[in-house]
Amino acid sequence: MNPKQTAAARALEYVESGMRLGLGTGSTTAYFIDLLGKKLQRGELSDIVGVATSERTAEQARRLKIPLTTLSRSPRLDLAVDGADEVDPQLNLIKGLGRALLREKIIEVHAERFVVIVDESKLVSKLGEHVPLPVEIIPFEAAAHVVWLNTLSGCRAELWLEDDASPIITDNGNYLVRCYFEQAIGNPQTLARALSERPGIVEHGLFLSMANAVVIAGEKGVRVITNDQ
């Protein structure tokens, strides 16, 4: 197994029959969903129902015959499993470079436990060290939102574009901006508050104080860091 598969396999140990699961989006979580589907097919797990964080994840789940539901039908999820783009020492996360941050956050706040699966390259001392922070904005006056984001301290913001130079459009019909920070993000809580209060910004990729456990795969095997509240 590669590190992503190893982390996904370890995260699957948190799943028990009868659970309602939040199913994340991204390459690492795709391995988890694949393994989950195989366990269901072999009868090793049963009565599992998932809520998908993206159309891509929903398509994969349906292909593997993993039953799906919605938050309106299952507002309390036992567990959500997803990847992350960065993880700091307090288990704060940057997520959303898989283009699904809004739905991920909506679903993951409904979970009793949120388990994150990563390889050790995603560990950082400060968020924003290696990857940009994705921010979902409404299309109306999109350029104005990008201009404002560029006024944030140390931030260089740009509209995220497809290869044909058209704006990336999320499953929600919105645009995405990538925010690069020269010296990483000094105070994620302050930044998250500023982004949340700004009209036109729908959601941001700072997932703060949400993860209960992070499963980390590296050259020396798998380790788990917990932050259970």
SS3 of 37-84: the string is HHHHHHCCCCCCEEEECCHHHHHHHHHCCCCECCCCCCCCEEEEEECC
The Cα-based distances of 121 to 83, 115, 131, 212 in angstroms read 12, 17, 11, 20
Question: How many whole angstroms separate alpha carbon 203 and alpha carbon 95?
Answer: 11
Contacts of 222 (CB under 8 A, 6+ apart): 6, 7, 10, 215, 216
Structure tokens at 63: 């292909």
Please identify every residue annotated as catalytic.
104
